[in-house]
A and B are shown apart, each in its own frame.
Chain A
Amino acid sequence: MRVHLHNIGPIRDADIMLTPLTVLVGPNGTGKTTFTTVAYAAMQAHRVAMVDALEQLEGFDPGGTRRKRGPAMARDVIDQWEESFAERLEFQLRRCCNPDLEKLGRAKRGGQNAAPRIEIATDQWSLVFRLEGNELYLETDHRCYRPPRFELSRGTSLPTARAQVRKVLALSMPKRGVYFPAGRSALVQTHSAMTALMAGAISGGYFENATIGEIPGTVADFMQMMARIKANRRSRVRAGKLAKRIESELLHGDVRLHERGGQKSFRFRPEGQKGEWALENIATSIGEVSPLVLYLRHWAWPRDAILIDEPESHLHPEAQAPLAGALMDLSETISPTLVATHSELLVSALSAELLDRTRARKKGAVPPKLSVHEFKFHDEDRSYGVDVAEIEVEPTRGFQVRRFAEVADEVFESGIDAYNRLHGSD
């Protein structure tokens, strides 16, 4: 899947092909979350559009006795899918990014007129959407627009046709996006209270007055996932081993899910101790990482895509190295993963993991696929916006994010200067 944003939020231009592990780095306010959220919105939109396209296909008549058949039907399926995609993408962008799309797209950039666009593409198709005012339009006359192509002939059975549609429309698109927003621990820790508040608001009839509707879609979906996770619901992928590894290497304890009389609670048992603590009464780091463990045990599906905003937050550096290993495992064995981070250490540990895994592979085997993208404000004028550059990742040399090193060097240098000034040396 490829996501190309042009004049969206702070981003002037970001064209990123999602790889099994995609890492976004950059200072605050450069649009990493905007990019991640738009990618998530597109995944959610595609999911619904696929259902609509397949429903449209139900009208396909292989015998050819009805009016609509063959190429005309294929065209109808594509039209339905495109229309549905545009409609759902607009809805998801309002939900997840900004209810006012005029504020999401930047019609002016550095004093110049700009055209806000979103391009979502796979090997098979490329859709271009234009943001104009508060509306989103599918732009079929754009040079990058490439509709999907397939033909449904008269003799094709419905299951074959369905498979064909799925192959063209859904190939290299994740089936479902799962978003882990920044500040997860706060959401986990207030989860019970929020659920009670929501229930109270509904039963008290004043739901309309509660500000729950103003929670961004990404956060609402995350909370919904946490609310819908059940002890007896198991993942449809084998992720138990990875969940266990995260528990032992990162959390040093077990995350547990208790259900008694319809009441659900997330609990944590530290290694070597008998007692259990509710997640709201324990270290923030546990609250940050435990949703990933719960997802792996109870919620993971094949062909999910995982989007994690700041996976390192609240983690001590000594926990960030095993986190890098877990992210690599996650992307290699479970689902493609998109990560937005500020951590030099996490990035460095990912580079070390890449080298280690390349070394461990048999000669000629494909090394792990990882891409790193740096979000950067224009050097001279911030109003010009943010451009994104791909950092070279060499499986046998690793990669470096120079800006991290520059900042660390500046801090290092100023520490030495301050010390020497204090002690009177020049």
Chain B
Amino acid sequence: MAKRTEAELRANVCDENSCWTEGTIADSGVTANLKGSWHILTLDRHFQGCDAQRLGNIADGVAVYPNENNKRLRVLELKPKVDDYPDAAKKLHKTIPLLRKRLPHGFRGLRVDLELHVKEMPVLTTKLRKVIENEDVQYGVRAYCDGEQV
């Protein structure tokens, strides 16, 4: 499943090695460590430079794990702190239909996780759990700092 998804992303979004990274993704001082060899398509960078169709307000990356049993599709947005969630939510919200259209099978069979990766550990330890809805489907959003859910 994951290999197919990666192939579809490469075929329908970008196959340039410069737009792909492994394990970690960094943007404006924030680094997201996905803990493992996740293959990450740096969406925002791609749409800002590589793709002729310039798109703004897109999530920073989308990650798949190169293992057939792994059905997760992680959509990543990097922000300095959890309080930046409203801005991150807009980007994640815009990214969902874009990805669904680019994947020939849509999200069928995939588990889509929306993730906000932050630099600063929040003061309150109650974890961020939000829902973003698109076309009558709900997607859960969680936040991470240093690879740990916060």
Binding site for B on A (CB under 8 A): 344-345, 347-349, 351-352, 355-356, 397-400, 405, 408-409, 412-413, 415-416, 419-420, 423-426
Q: Are B129 and A345 in contact (CB under 8 A)?
A: no
* Contact A412-B140, Cβ < 8 Å, known A348-B126, A349-B124, A352-B123: yes
The smallest C-beta distance from A395 to any residue of chain B, in angstroms, reads 13
Q: List 8 A-B contacts (CB under 8 A).
A: A345-B126, A352-B123, A352-B124, A398-B125, A400-B125, A405-B127, A416-B131, A416-B139
Q: Are B126 and A344 in contact (CB under 8 A)?
A: yes
Q: Residue A416 contacts which of B108, B140, B149 (CB distance < 8 angstroms)?
A: B140
A383 to B51 alpha-carbon distance, docked (Å): 61
Query: Which A residues touch B140, using CB under 8 A?
Result: 412-413, 416
Query: Which B residues touch A351, using CB under 8 A?
Result: 124-125
Query: Which B residues touch A405, using CB under 8 A?
Result: 127, 149
Which single residue of chain B is at the shortest CB-CB distance from A402?
A: B149
The smallest C-beta distance from B90 to any residue of chain A, in angstroms, reads 20
The smallest C-beta distance from A416 to any residue of chain B, in angstroms, reads 5
A348 to B139 alpha-carbon distance, docked (Å): 25
B68 within 8 A of A: no
B136 within 8 A of A: yes
The smallest C-beta distance from A328 to any residue of chain B, in angstroms, reads 14
How many chain B residues sit at the interface, stated as a range, is 10 to 19
A347 to B125 alpha-carbon distance, docked (Å): 8
Which single residue of chain A is at the shortest CB-CB distance from B108?
A: A426
A240 to B149 alpha-carbon distance, docked (Å): 41
The smallest C-beta distance from A103 to any residue of chain B, in angstroms, reads 38
Shortest 5 CB-CB contacts between residues of A and residues of B = A348-B126, A423-B136, A348-B125, A425-B137, A351-B125
Q: Are A408 and B127 in contact (CB under 8 A)?
A: yes
Query: Which A residues touch B121, using CB under 8 A?
Result: 397-398
The smallest C-beta distance from B55 to any residue of chain A, in angstroms, reads 25
The smallest C-beta distance from A293 to any residue of chain B, in angstroms, reads 26
Q: Residue B123 contacts which of A356, A412, A415 (CB distance < 8 angstroms)?
A: A356
Q: Residue A399 contacts which of B125, B129, B142 (CB distance < 8 angstroms)?
A: B125
Question: What 12 new A-B contacts, CB under 8 Å, besides A348-B125, A352-B124?
Answer: A398-B121, A400-B125, A405-B127, A408-B129, A409-B129, A409-B149, A420-B137, A423-B137, A425-B136, A425-B137, A426-B108, A426-B109
Which single residue of chain A is at the shortest CB-CB distance from B137?
A: A425
A400 to B124 alpha-carbon distance, docked (Å): 10
* Contact A398-B137, Cβ < 8 Å, known A409-B129, A412-B129: no
A405 to B109 alpha-carbon distance, docked (Å): 26
The smallest C-beta distance from A85 to any residue of chain B, in angstroms, reads 40
Which single residue of chain A is at the shortest CB-CB distance from B109?
A: A426
The smallest C-beta distance from A58 to any residue of chain B, in angstroms, reads 53
Interface residues of B in 89-123 (CB under 8 A from A): 108-109, 121, 123
Q: Which of B129, B131, B139 has the most CB of A within 10 A?
A: B129
A321 to B110 alpha-carbon distance, docked (Å): 39
Query: Which A residues touch B48, using CB under 8 A?
Result: none
A399 to B125 alpha-carbon distance, docked (Å): 7
The smallest C-beta distance from A341 to any residue of chain B, in angstroms, reads 14
Which single residue of chain B is at the shortest CB-CB distance from A401?
A: B125
B37 within 8 A of A: no
The smallest C-beta distance from B83 to any residue of chain A, in angstroms, reads 14
A398 to B127 alpha-carbon distance, docked (Å): 13
A344 to B129 alpha-carbon distance, docked (Å): 14
B70 within 8 A of A: no
Query: Which B residues touch A415, using CB under 8 A?
Result: 131
Query: Which A residues touch B123, using CB under 8 A?
Result: 352, 355-356, 398
The smallest C-beta distance from B115 to any residue of chain A, in angstroms, reads 13
Query: Which B residues touch A399, using CB under 8 A?
Result: 125
B138 within 8 A of A: yes
A408 to B149 alpha-carbon distance, docked (Å): 12
Query: Which B residues touch A423, using CB under 8 A?
Result: 136-137
A426 to B137 alpha-carbon distance, docked (Å): 9
A400 to B139 alpha-carbon distance, docked (Å): 25
Which single residue of chain B is at the shortest CB-CB distance from A350?
A: B125
Q: Are A416 and B125 in contact (CB under 8 A)?
A: no
Which single residue of chain B is at the shortest CB-CB distance from A411?
A: B129
The smallest C-beta distance from B85 to any residue of chain A, in angstroms, reads 15
The smallest C-beta distance from A330 to any residue of chain B, in angstroms, reads 21
A420 to B137 alpha-carbon distance, docked (Å): 6
The smallest C-beta distance from B104 to any residue of chain A, in angstroms, reads 16
